[in-house]
Amino acid sequence: MLKSVALFGTSADPPTIGHKKIIEELSKIYDFTISYVSNNPNKKHKEDISIRSHLLKTLIEDLDNPKILFNQRLSSKWALESIKKCKKIYEFNNLDFVIGSDLIKDIFSWKNFDKIIKEVSFFIILREGYPVKSNTIKMLETYNVKFRISNIKIPNISSSKFRLNFNYSNLPTSLIDIVKKNNLYESTTSVE
């Protein structure tokens, strides 16, 4: 029997309660959810990838769910590399690549887009204020992109909103002390 797998790469700068909710909900839908931190080539990151990956790993360990795996070895700024690494390590072929609705329109310009769409289906998480527009759906269909739009409800928080407002209640409880003790994200100037 084929296992259903969600591959959730994120810049997690920092991981928020939104990331936590996404991971928890994915674990209810998929046999396995595999997550990692990557550097998005279209963003400037506030904290180094080693710090962000430590935070996401801590969050996932705190969830203590055998269906949720953290594997930083999958990290690459290029989606295709992460997908291929995942398939090689875990020997799963049917992967859903998890992406926020705020980023779905960008996939058409991704490096190796034509190869990515042959390797995975996209599982689109709706973010408040970022509906998947009809012209984007038409483009996905035109390029024969396999996709599903999720009905997962997530808090209206993002890493960039946290950096602007610096409200600790938007962080998973397991991360608050780490962020405070290490003076992470103290300069609240937004960097996207």
Does the structure show a pLDDT above 60 at 188?
no
Q: What domain range includes position 93?
A: 5-181
Q: Residue 1: its pLDDT value, please?
A: 55
Q: Is residue 13 part of a domain?
A: yes
Each residue's pLDDT tens digit, 31-45: 999 999 999 888 889
Q: How confident is the model at residue 41, as a pLDDT? A: 85
- Average pLDDT (10-33) is 97
Q: Is 36 in a helix, a strand, or coil? A: strand
Domain count, the chain: 1
The answer, yes or no, to whether residue 129 has pLDDT greater than 70, is: yes
Quickly state the pLDDT bin for 91 (edges 50, 70, 90): confident
User: What token pair was written down for 23?
Assistant: 């991971």
Residue 192 maps to a domain: no
Q: Please choose, from the candidates 22, 51, 21, the residue with its C-alpha nearest in 3D space to the C-alpha of residue 37.
A: 51
Confidence of residue 118 (pLDDT cuts 50, 70, 90): very high
Task: Report whether pLDDT(190) > 70.
Answer: no
Cα 157 versus chain centre, distance? 14
48 within domain boundaries: yes
Instruction: State residue 187's pLDDT score.
Output: 58
pLDDT band at 94 (very low <50, low <70, confident <90, very high): confident
Model pLDDT, residue 3: 84
pLDDT value of residue 189? 44
- Angle at the Cα of 32 from the Cα atoms of 77 and 140, rounded to 5 degrees: 55
Residue 80 domain flag: yes
pLDDT of residue 43: 85
In a domain, 191, yes or no: no
Condensed to tens digits (0 to 9), the pLDDT of residues 55-74 reads 999 999 999 999 999 999 99
- Rounded to 5 degrees, φ, ψ at 59 are -60, -45
Is residue 73 in a domain?
Answer: yes
- Give pLDDT tens digits for 76-86: 999 999 999 99
In a domain, 186, yes or no: no
Q: Which CATH number goes with the domain that contains 128?
A: 3.40.50.620
The mean per-residue pLDDT over the stretch 136-162 comes to: 95
CB distance 148 to 175 below 8 Å: no
pLDDT at site 191: 39
Residue 124 lies in a domain: yes
